[in-house]
Structure 1
Amino acid sequence: MEKFRWAYIGSGSIANSTAKDIVKGNHKIVSVYGRSIDKVKAFADKVGADAYDDFDKSVNRDDVDAVYIATPHTSHLEYATRAMRLGKPVLCEKPVGVSAAEAEQMIAVAKEQNAYFCEAMWTWFSDVALTVKQWVQGGEIGDITDVEINYAFPGIMMPKGSRLLTPETAGGAILDIGIYPITYCYNLFGLPKSISCNGKLKNGIDISETVVLRYDGFNCKLNMSLCGLKENCRINGTKGSIKLPVFFHMASRAVLKNENGRQVFNGKTDYLTEFTRVAEEIRQGKKQSDYIPFEATAECLKIIDECRRQMKLVYPFEKTIRQ
């Protein structure tokens, strides 16, 4: 089978990480667009692609099978909708937008243009998370009694001016970090009955929060932070437990303990699996992903919207819009 050909929008750290992974498989990057042409050229040369400072020209090529958006999430709405209106399938980094309203706009354009659109949430393209879901929904640990997920990213140690620490680019913990545990619980249990969020704001961003998602008979407690925090995930049930020793990558193992003993699933969470499964769906003619359907993308951002409301977290560009 011919290599699947990508147009990359953005050439920063996540673009470099994904590119390094996917070129090991049946993928090729044919064009790269970004606002800093020198940076784009350096990245394009490295991956053997053409560099552009014109978005439409980079995307509207006959040899572009799909567009991957790897820019800050404040620009996802613009680039995703433009690409889909040019008739291209889109894989967009998470979170796909700053709010559920932005996600819903992208989904509306995908439906209007009959274009494939998918959030690049690598977790749920991985057999590790999919196996945990099978265990939970298959009753391997009985009825759920409680869930706790801890996830941190050392953003506080990043240099001043970093996108992650800047309110103008919607930096902070809830969008960059919270999207992972929130999506994890959503994909296992659906929308919660209620949500509570207790966060700490500093310099216009949230640097940490504890989110409690309440379901019938159990709660999911999610601790997220830009500071130090030991990562893990624990799902307890009436008949056993599931543990993920390292939550973010979830690459090493998922451990199931129940009345039948101990079972370990060793797997991999990687970009190559994600991009390959997306390419397969696009080639099959699908318009939304079986792994990350539209509803999941929109509803997880609705949870984040509610967390932000409770924290009174409003980004500068949103204040401008409201005025």
Structure 2
Amino acid sequence: MSVVQFKSGNRDRVTINDLARELGIAKGTVSRALNGYPDISDATRLRVARAAERMGYRPMAQAQAIRTGLSRALGLVLNAGPGNAHKPFLTDFIDGISRAASEEAWSLTVATAVDEEDEVATMARLVEERKVDGFILPRTKIVDARIDLLRRLEVPFVLYGRTGDPTGCAWFDISGEDAMRDGVLRLAGQGHRRIGFINGLTVYNYATLRLGGYREGLAQAGLAFDPVLVREGATTMTSGEALGAELLDLDAPPTAIVCALDLAALGVYRAAEARGLAIGRDLSVLSYDGIPEAATASPPLTTYAVDTRAAGSRLAKMLFALIRGADPETLRETVPAHLIARGSDSRAGTT
């Protein structure tokens, strides 16, 4: 294939005609590929998008928005208020979304909010100003005001997680409930009979699922569920330490603790140290998330890890499908987390 040379300076911007000439296909096909029409194959759309990126093609956003009704931008609004721990996964997550958007010659619009009310208001503003064509919603709640808003406005959205009422929802999620179940069975297989559980905030859908997985693991191991061994609401090291201390100060404390979040588990490390207990010898701990800090803990934390970059990429591709007219209820994927076995649960419990 010939390579078209473009000069800087007074050379006009790269046009659809330039792309069509470079690729040897019709201008109309290039235009429809760039605008996401469903009659264009994925292979052609990707080929055109890559050529546009290579040649420096940039659509005139205002004219394109008028012509297609699309701003060619995906939306992500992050709650940066107290208690919202996006940081552990944020860099890889945004990178995954951005790479997938770039392949389609789209952009990612990221905004922050201080609480749920602000999130909803920010999303409504982005829709009203026609700055985004659809949203990715992380950290889904059982009852989620963001979902209610986007349903009402008929704006495409995809969930990173699940929700209480799945009607009209597309999602990509990691099976945290299976990880909690498998974690309990792993500990029971080491001989533990008193296995505690520290959950996240119960307004989030993942917390209900992970508690269910913990209970399923106990049942499969032939162990009775004891609510005394369960604590809820830990999303930071500080709250994990406080709830871990409560469990360790019981008259009959657990010999192992499963945590719904790695940050909470690292807080349990602090509670154990304050009581002269060695993680991996006197107390087994395992968790979920796979954050970088887990690998540098002493001993390193056994955790069920999530590929957040891959999750971001998949969510972006699902949102593209929704924007192009796919039925959201046909776009639902749940994949497993993968175990990273380290030293925090190496003790063979016998009590």
Q: Give the TM-score category using the shorter length.
A: 0.3 to 0.5
Q: Greater helix share, 1 or 2?
A: 2
Compute the TM-score of the two structures, normalised by the length of structure 1: 0.40
The structure whose Rg is larger is 2
**Larger strand proportion of the pair:** 1
